[in-house]
Structure 1
């Protein structure tokens, strides 16, 4: 897991959120242009163990074929979200899904990743 980079991006015309998980840190930004520096959050040992456990359950080769449970993003009812994982010099990306409504197979890891954005908003 030390070599993995997990990136979650959700966006619409008026909303952008990018969360990157790597080496026990979460970087959170709401700036689509990249001009604003991302806020870095240290991940506790307990949260890190949970992320590693959830990561190990993700079937990387199947990520692109996962079906979104809802289609609100098609009519601006939800932000468009993607999960991107870079691991062992390979990149795996999910099909687009509604922010807040990930495919069941990755729901737990996506919700855990999003918990760091919520922490960022509370600070």
Structure 2
């Protein structure tokens, strides 16, 4: 009887341990929903939002929606995963032309698991080093869609 109780207790602990591990693993998986690039200066407002399969753009209030390829979205996700979203607002811009209206003031917003993470503001074309690959990929997609 004593061996049965010990065996049953050990089995119960093993089974309950196996059930909790997948739950913990699921909590650590992050889901990137959208990536937005906003660029503004006096007289110009450009907003671009990328999601799985779609590019939404608004230039001075003129809205447009276009499809993007799965390959483009995969590249965006690849670059976004390398960014520490929780500390994105602490990244410093290397130039300050936006202060004198010599460049568009830009920022990137990452929506991940329902939470928005917004970068610090930087000059258009000159993002912080940590955002450079993502910014350049967003610009490539925007320029490709503009030319069509």
TM-score, length basis structure 2: 0.73
- 1:8 equivalent in alignment to 2:37: yes
Following superposition, the deviation at residue 2 of structure 1 comes to: 5.6
Instruction: Kindly indicate which of the two structures has a greater share of residues assigned to helix.
Output: 2
Maintained 8 Å contact 1:2/1:23: no
Unpaired stretches in structure 1, ≥5 consecutive residues: none
1:94 Cα deviation (Å)?
0.7
Bigger shift: 83-92 or 97-106? 83-92
Mark the structure with the bigger radius of gyration: 2
Aligned length, in residue pairs = 119
Large movers: runs of 4+ above 3 Å? none
1:27 maps to which residue? 56
Q: Specify which structure has the bigger relative contact order, considering alpha-carbon pairs within 8 angstroms and separated by 6 or more residues.
A: 1
TM-score in terms of structure 1 length: 0.87
Superposition deviation, residue 96 in structure 1: 0.6
The equivalent position to 1:63 in structure 2, one of 75, 88, 100, is: 88
Aligned to 1:4, what secondary structure does the other structure show? strand
Structure 2, unaligned runs of 5 or more: 1-29
